[in-house]
Each structure stands twice: as C-alpha cells, then as structure tokens.
Amino acid sequence: MKHWRDYIILVILAGPIIALDQWTKALVRNNLAVGETWLPLGWEWIYAYFHVVHWYNMGAAFGMFQQGWMVFTALAFLVIGLIIFYYPSIPAADWSLRLALGLQLGGATGNLLDRLQFSGRVTDFVRVGDFPIFNVADSSISVGVAVLVLGMWITDKQNKKKQLAQGATVSDLNILEEAKDVKDE
C-alpha cells in the first residue's frame, strides 16, 4: 500500500481514456451496422477527410496483423501487468514517462476489454482520409508513444546540457590547478 498515490495517478490518467473508449465504441455498435458510416447532417463535404464508420479489427492498432488477435490479447495482458508493476518506480519528476504509461495503459485496457467481450474483435470507427480506421484506445496508445519519445528527447537534451556544464566546470578547475602549479614552481 505504500504506492497508493502512484496508482491513484495511474487510474486518473487511464480511467477516463478507458471510459471514453468504451462509451464511444458502444455508441457506434448500438447505432451503426458494421460497415455503415455516419456524418452529421450538412457535413457531407468533410466525408473525404473524416467520417465515422463501424468496423471490426482483430489485429493490432490501425488494422495491422489481422490473424494475430490471440497474440495481441496476451500481449495486452503482459503490457498492462508491466505498466502496473513498473509505474511506482518512476520518479514523480518524470512526468512524461508517467503520462505516456497512463495513456498506454488506458489504450491497452480499452482494446483488451473489446477483445475479451467480442471474441478478439476490437471496434474501430474513426476514419481520417485514407488512414486506417482506428478508435480512442488506438489514439491513446499512439499519443502515449509520442509523449514517451518526446520526453526521452527532452530528457536527453537536458542531460547533455548538464554534462556540458559539468565538463566546463571540471576543465575550469583543471586550468586553475595548472595555473597554481605553475605559480608554485
């Protein structure tokens, strides 16, 4: 129970994603037949760029690897378990990693719930241009990966600046020591 705060933060991050994902998927399943599309009236001009379409996906995000649903179900359990186990060990100051894992946990859980309820099928419904059809969970996972990469890049830049500053300090000390040695001779 010593990590209760960490888990509360994780639930605060992942919970709304899971809820929004499940709610939007239920709306689509209850209101559109598989393959049916929807746009608000008067928005027909946007159809080529965006529309809602009821679709099922048995593979990974964005429809990849359609025959691998059992592997992705097991992988989702593994990812969820690792995030729950690892999350408390992340320093509170590492906000980007905490946010990224919260987003990924929400997305993985949302799609896992679909796989468990619908024989491996995940409901997808967002169509943007020619991009594969996706859902809130897929988006959350993708944004989580982007936040993770961005956070690593920022951390790396900060560490390099610190190293440069420390390196300059060490070389400044070396110059002072050399000057002192020359003076003593």
Query: Which positions are annotated as active-site residues?
Result: 124, 138
Beta bridge partners of 56: 123
User: Residue 49 to residues 61, 82, 129, 169: CA-CA distances in angstroms?
Assistant: 20, 37, 4, 55
What is the b/e burial string over 27-43, where b = at least 16 CB atoms within 10 angstroms of the residue's CB? ebbeebeeeeeeeeeee
Q: Are 80 and 109 in contact (CB under 8 A)?
A: yes
Question: In this structure, which amino acid lies at residue 9?
Answer: I
* Chain-centre distance for alpha carbon 143: 5
